[in-house]
């Protein structure tokens, strides 16, 4: 398993129980049960669904915009 560095500490990636993908960094708390830690992308999808954005393509577009804005802020 690949390791990644978070706040100067080497950590193992986590596996999202919703999508099954590997992720690093901070998890999101699922809105479905307020207990399960999920990957940030699934967290964004749950948030979008909670405001009525149900179409997967529309979610992908919004999440893509969010990523590009975050990348611009870092650069």
The strand ranges marked E within the chain are 4-6, 9-11, 14-15, 22-23, 28-29, 37-38
Q: What is the tens place of the pLDDT at every residue in 13-57?
A: 899 999 999 998 889 999 999 999 999 999 999 999 999 999 999
Confidence band for 66, pLDDT divided at 50, 70 and 90: confident
Domain boundaries, the chain: 26-68
Residues in the chain: 75
More confident residue, 15 or 9: 15
Confidence band for 75, pLDDT divided at 50, 70 and 90: low
pTM, 2 dp:
0.79
Q: What is the pLDDT of residue 70?
A: 78
């Amino acid at each position: 398993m690949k390791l990644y560095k978070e706040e100067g500490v080497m950590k193992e990636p986590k596996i999202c129980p919703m999508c099954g993908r590997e992720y690093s960094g901070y998890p999101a708390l699922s809105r479905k049960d307020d207990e399960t830690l999920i990957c940030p992308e699934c967290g964004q999808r749950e948030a979008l669904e909670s405001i009525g954005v149900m179409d997967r393509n529309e979610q992908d577009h919004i999440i893509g915009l969010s990523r590009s804005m975050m990348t611009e802020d870092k650069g």
